[in-house]
Amino acid sequence: MPEREENTEVAGMNVLNGNGRLLEIKDLIKYYRRGRKLITALDSVSLHVDRGEAVGLVGESGCGKSTLARLVLGLGPPDRGSILFDAADMLSLRGEALRRKRKGIQIVFQDCGSVLNPRLTVGAAITEPIANFNPPDSVCLDKKLKYLFEMVGLEKSLADRFPHQLSGGQRQRVGIARALAPEPFMLVCDEPVSSLDVSVQSQIIDLFLELKKGLKLSYLFISHDLAVVNQICDRVAVMYLGRLAEVMPVTELVSGAMHPYTQALVSAIPANNPEKRGFPCLQLRGEVLPVVERRGCLFAPRCVEAQSCCYETVPCLVEISPGHSVACHNIKEKTKTS
């Protein structure tokens, strides 16, 4: 892992103010209008990511994780709530100040092949963001490109190739290099390994881990695969139909999940051994269906432990142990009895 360059010019523009929380999301609400219906994509979501921390965002279709990622990146305003990045209110910034803050947070997509401009060589695609923010001269650019290639484990000779000439894994590395080009503090990764073959997936996971350690990067890591989140992230936030169900350290996933939905997700993971087959612990009813009335706990219709109060009142996200918050009425009962 090459040393992080001390480029004073760049450093001057990207100074990390404050300490501790790099990203702070408070009570984020986002609606979408579809015809006559108003769909709540995000319902008072609060989350934070510290410097050098990786937070996984897990949930099924309609949970709002993609919407959250988009709002965090500034691709659309929320209807309510605040987003603080690097101690600055992202929603009130405009123009040049916004651009400079935006450098600090970049995105890695699921299928980098379709995101890369097919007409640009891979080298040009990677240096495009640098040229956009603070164009140095060509010598500096070339040095930077070499540095980035090294960082993601690609051969420099590939810089003149086009995306379609590379393998899936290589394209994903290019996508990561491009995200790293403006020297961000945080990467928003939207299912970055889901479309890769298993053998390549493990290499890219390794890369993410190395980058996190070496560059002190933070991640907002969206994935449907809990096992992948387990490998890369420190904490995981489980979402269901726009609300947070549980936020917890990743180490507690296997046996410490408290929310019935998280438990269901964990139990739904197929066995890695034929002796453990059959989903013995899966307890779930039906499927994710969009709700008309957002009353009470949205998971109640599918929950095997649902009681009458679950349909009436919305459960709040409550911290039951350090770093572990759950939004479920039954938890209080459990913690009381245990």
**Site of interaction with other proteins (CB under 8 A):** 34-35, 37, 60-62, 153, 165-170, 197-203, 205-206, 209, 224-228, 230-231, 253-254, 264-274, 276-279, 282, 284, 287-290
Q: How far is the CB of 203 from other proteins (least distance, A)?
A: 6
Question: With respect to other proteins, which residue has the nearer C-beta, 188 or 226?
Answer: 226
| Cα 63 to Cα 238: distance, rounded to the nearest angstrom | 9
Q: How far is the CB of 200 from other proteins (least distance, A)?
A: 6
Phi, psi of 149, rounded to the nearest 5 degrees: -60, -45
Both tokens of 236, joined, read 């995981």
Q: How far is the CB of 282 from other proteins (least distance, A)?
A: 5
Question: With respect to other proteins, which residue has the nearer C-beta, 201 or 325?
Answer: 201
Question: With respect to other proteins, which residue has the nearer C-beta, 132 or 167?
Answer: 167
Question: With respect to other proteins, which residue has the nearer C-beta, 124 or 288?
Answer: 288
Q: How far is the CB of 168 from other proteins (least distance, A)?
A: 8
SS3 annotation, the chain = CCCCCCCHHHHHHCCCCCCCEEEEEEEEEEEEEECCEEEEEEEEEEEEEECCCEEEEECCCCCCHHHHHHHHCCCCCCCEEEEEECCEECCCCCHHHHHHHHCCEEEECCCHHHHCCCCCCHHHHHHHHHHHHCCCCHHHHHHHHHHHHHHHCCCHHHHHCCHHHCCHHHHHHHHHHHHHCCCCCEEEEECCCCCCCHHHHHHHHHHHHHHHHHHCCEEEEECCCHHHHHHHCCEEEEEECCEEEEEEEHHHHHHHCCCHHHHHHHHCCCCCCHHHCCCCCCCCCCCCCCCCCCCCCCCHHHCCCCCHHHHHCCCCCEEEECCEEECCHHHHHHHHHC
Question: With respect to other proteins, which residue has the nearer C-beta, 23 or 174?
Answer: 174
Question: With respect to other proteins, which residue has the nearer C-beta, 163 or 182?
Answer: 163
Q: How far is the CB of 20 from other proteins (least distance, A)?
A: 27
Q: How far is the CB of 285 from other proteins (least distance, A)?
A: 10
Q: Angle at which helices 122-133 and 168-180 pack, to 10 degrees?
A: 10
Q: How far is the CB of 224 from other proteins (least distance, A)?
A: 6
Question: With respect to other proteins, which residue has the nearer C-beta, 121 or 202?
Answer: 202
Contact call for residues 211 and 172 (beta carbons, < 8 A): no
Question: With respect to other proteins, which residue has the nearer C-beta, 63 or 317?
Answer: 63
Q: How far is the CB of 141 from other proteins (least distance, A)?
A: 25
